[in-house]
Amino acid sequence: MFNKLEKVLMPAATKLGSNRILIAIRDGFLITTPLIIVASIFLLIANFPIPGWSEFWANYFGNGWESWFTNVSRAVFNTVGFFTCFSTAYAYARQIKSDAIQAAASALVAFLILTPTKMIVDGLKEPVDGVLDMEYLGTNGIFLGLIVAFIAVIIYDFVYKRGWTIKMPDGVPPAVAQSFEALIPSAFVIMVFFFIRILFGMTGFETLHNFIYQILQVPLKGAGNTLMAQIIYGFACTIFWFFGINGPAVANSVFAPITKVLTMENLDAFQNGHKLPNIFTDPFSNFFTNFGGGGSTLSLVIVMLLVCKSERIKQLGKLAIVPGFFGINEPIIFGLPIVLNPILLVPFNLVPLINLLLSTLVTKIGIIPYTNGVALPWTTPIGFSGYLSTGSLWASVYQILLLILGCLIYYPFIKTLDKQYLKEEHDAKMEKVENISFDDLTNDDLNFI
Residue 7 binned pLDDT confidence (cut-offs 50, 70, 90): low
Where helices occur in 78-217 by DSSP H, the ranges are 80-95, 100-114, 142-161, 174-181, 183-201, 208-212
Ordered DSSP codes for 78-104: TTHHHHHHHHHHHHHHHHTTS-HHHHH
Query: Which of these, 291, 297, 278, lies nearest to 383 by C-alpha position?
Result: 291
CA distance 273 to 355: 28
Q: Are 16 and 253 spatial neighbours (Cβ–Cβ below 8 Å)?
A: yes
Question: Side chain identity at 24, as an amino acid letter?
Answer: A
Say yes or no to pLDDT of 46 above 90. Answer: no
Dihedral angle of Cα 329, 330, 334, 336, to the nearest 10 degrees? -30
- CB burial string 373-403: b at 16+ within 10 A, e below: bbbbebebbbbebbbbbbbeeebbebbeebb
Average pLDDT score over residue span 362-389: 88
Q: For residue 332, what is the enclosing H or E element?
A: helix 330-335
Average pLDDT score over residue span 49-65: 85
Query: Which of these, 370, 375, 364, 362, lies nearest to 390 by C-alpha position?
Result: 370
The pLDDT tens digits of the residues spanning 255-282 come to: 777 888 888 888 888 888 888 999 999 8
CA distance 230 to 292: 19
The pLDDT tens digits of the residues spanning 224-256 come to: 788 988 898 888 888 877 876 677 767 776 777
Q: What is the pLDDT of residue 443?
A: 59
Residue 63 binned pLDDT confidence (cut-offs 50, 70, 90): confident
- Portion of the chain with pLDDT greater than 70, in percent: 91
Query: Which of these, 226, 358, 376, lies nearest to 289 by C-alpha position?
Result: 358
The better pLDDT of the pair 119, 356 is held by 356
The better pLDDT of the pair 216, 342 is held by 342
Average pLDDT score over residue span 9-16: 65
Write the DSSP symbol of residue 136: G
- Portion of the chain with pLDDT greater than 90, in percent: 29
Average pLDDT score over residue span 1-21: 67
Q: What is the pLDDT of residue 173?
A: 79
Dihedral angle of Cα 48, 54, 55, 60, to the nearest 10 degrees? 110
Q: What is the pLDDT of residue 269?
A: 87
The strand pairing partners of 85, in sequence order, are: none
Q: Are 246 and 223 spatial neighbours (Cβ–Cβ below 8 Å)?
A: no
Q: What is the pLDDT of residue 395?
A: 93
Write the DSSP symbol of residue 134: G
Q: What is the pLDDT of residue 432?
A: 67
Write the DSSP symbol of residue 358: H
At residue 128, the 3 state secondary structure works out as: strand
SS3 percent helix, strand, coil of the chain, rounded to 5, is: 70, 0, 25
Ordered DSSP codes for 29-78: HHHHHHHHHHHHHHHHHHT-SSTTHHHHHHHHH-TTTHHHHHHHHHHHHT
Task: Give, rounded to a whole angstrom, the gap between the first and last alpha carbons of the chain.
Answer: 62
The pLDDT tens digits of the residues spanning 117-166 come to: 877 777 777 777 778 888 788 877 888 899 999 999 999 999 998 888 88
